[in-house]
Amino acid sequence: MYFEQFYLGCLAHASYLLASDGEAVVVDPQRDVDLYLKAATEHAFVIRHIFETHLHADFVSGHKELAARTGAKIYMGAQAGAKFAHVPVGDGFQLKFGKASIRVLETPGHTPESICLVVTDKEKSISPWAVLTGDTLFIGDVGRPDLSPRHTPAQLAGMLYDSLHTKLLTLPDNVVVYPAHGAGSLCGKNMRAERSSTIGTERLTNYALQIKSREEFIAQLTSNLPARPEYFLKDAEINRTGAAPLSELPALHAIAPPELERMLRDGEIALDVRSGDDFAAGHVPGSINIALSGQFASWAGTVLGLTAHPVLVADNDQQLEEARVRLARIGMEVIDGYLAGGVAAWKHAGLPVAQTHQITAEELHSRLQAQDMQVLDVRRQPEWDAGHIENATWWPLDNFRVSPPEIDRDAPLAVHCKSGYRSMIASSLLERAGFNHVLNVVGGFDAWQQAKLPVATPITD
């Protein structure tokens, strides 16, 4: 049997291609499906089957386009309520392809319709070889239980406990675990960086599987959940009906610098996708920096929302095309255009250029000693709890969609995250909101710790 994992780092998303005797199955496809078609062509496979382990909330799936281009059937959990042609599946459903097979396990919990796929490669053994766990079981974690509008988090957490203990943990310890997400995804709390594991390893090392009591499992799973981006529920609905092909997206149109200046005065959002350092050196005043180098689409969806129609600011056509595809992967399809000629053209037009000042960890420490600086930590709660700068204000970047932090807008403010990516996003949002003296901390909290500067931790009982 042929098996390949496709890992999309910007969304921490894993999808899969399995094939036997030329017959192929794709599991949890990303929005842009050409990579599966290319792999199938290279290996002389025919894609006949597409499985979705659930209605994904953090990205838009390409299942409908892939089915249209291949004639493949789509299989989904019977509880999904999908509004396109598909095969509803549940416990006991089995698909044979070549000398391999997939057996469905209904595993509600992350979502009501979640399923896991037990894979057997009969060329090697009649025993199960692997299980594709979707968002039910991650490496070091389990799926968050708060993504259903019809069930409470406690109800879903209870279902998840049952699914794990009565379904997945009954599999042999040597069965390989392949989840739909890795470290960095908001679909869990704190996943490990590995791309695969085994049932036995997870049984011994996954914190959630160490919890013996169903009640305690529910309590732990429903506490301190990471913020749920607004776009999650919208993406799930897009996936319920199926997204249009990427080829149907309208072409981006060029916007001259004077026109963009007028649009910005009317409330337009300029989204600068260049690196944080390039943005800091000079940018369109009021623009928001979310660099392509990180989890660009996730943060765009989180801090802007799917209803935003930004104008893109980039250095070249390649950046523009990459930004367009990555935004479409999370359902942000309406883009108002792009700045023709980029920041260079903006400068050439004689329009004002803003800068974001940066500060090193050592410089920040000196200014804190002189009581000459506020500090804003925009990391997530587990990071804050593990250690932070004393007297810093904590306001995670996930919260900026609701409001900026309530701190002095006129006093100098140093902003940091772990490494500098999120803090530059936050700095640009703060400047847009009217904060007058924002400084981005180069290297973030990592640089602070590397300089062996003092770290505070929360006081616990």
pLDDT tens figures, 371-404: 989 999 999 988 999 999 999 999 999 999 888 8
Please tell me the least confidently modeled range out of 2-11, 46-55, 76-85, 219-228. 219-228
| CA dist list (Å): 131 to 145, 171, 173 | 21, 9, 11
pLDDT of residue 460: 53
44: left (phi over 0), alpha (psi -120 to 50) or beta: left
**Residues 54/113, Cβ–Cβ less than 8 Å:** yes
pLDDT of residue 427: 98
Q: At the topology level of CATH, where does 357-450 sit?
A: Oxidized Rhodanese; domain 1 (3.40.250)
pLDDT of residue 373: 94
Q: Taking the domain 249-348, which CATH number applies?
A: 3.40.250.10
pLDDT tens figures, 265-313: 999 999 999 999 999 999 999 999 999 998 999 999 999 999 999 999 9
Q: What is the pTM of this model?
A: 0.92
Q: Has residue 458 got a pLDDT over 90? A: no
Please state the rounded mean pLDDT for residues 84-113. 97
Q: Has residue 140 got a pLDDT over 60? A: yes
β pairing state of 197-198 and 176-179: antiparallel
% of the chain exceeding 70 in pLDDT:
99
* Average pLDDT of the residues of the chain: 95
**Residues 397/426, Cβ–Cβ less than 8 Å:** yes
pLDDT of residue 459: 61
Residue keyed to tokens 């299989």: 75
Q: Has residue 135 got a pLDDT over 80? A: yes
Common-topology check for domains 2-241 and 357-450: no
Q: Domain 2-241 is in which class?
A: alpha beta
pLDDT of residue 190: 79
pLDDT tens figures, 58-74: 999 999 999 999 999 99
Q: Has residue 54 got a pLDDT over 50? A: yes
**Residues 120/103, Cβ–Cβ less than 8 Å:** yes
Any idea where the domains of the chain sit in the sequence? 2-241, 249-348, 357-450
Residue 250 CB partners (closer than 8 Å, separation 6+): none
pLDDT of residue 461: 47
Please tell me the least confidently modeled range out of 60-64, 120-124, 226-230. 226-230
140: left (phi over 0), alpha (psi -120 to 50) or beta: left
